[in-house]
Structure 1
């Protein structure tokens, strides 16, 4: 029986990589809750961040897709 697959994420501030890994690893590295990481990758967060003036200071989350799928 195989284990369920855990998605990988990357969290950036501008061009700077702040954290990479699953949701638990990213939240632990940044010292935030897992719900905050999930919010960062949501469409709502992306819409809100798109309207900001200083995008290079915004924290954004990106889901990393597996290339072998």
Structure 2
């Protein structure tokens, strides 16, 4: 399921990252790697704020939809 559909407070495990190679590399550099755990902090108008590797990261809805997760 795309990360965009996760709820605040959910701790999820990334199953895969989709998109073109540049998008995948960018998300990978931010810490969105297959098998990583992230926590959804807040839903905002433009997307999500998530906690990844002890840092808060804002993702717009386009980027959040490219991250596929399963519940941790």
Question: TM-score, length-normalised on structure 2?
Answer: 0.28
Bigger share in strand: 2
Larger Rg: 1
TM-score, structure 1 as length reference? 0.28
Higher relative contact order (CA 8 A, sep 6+): 2
- Of Structure 1 and Structure 2, the greater helix share is in 1
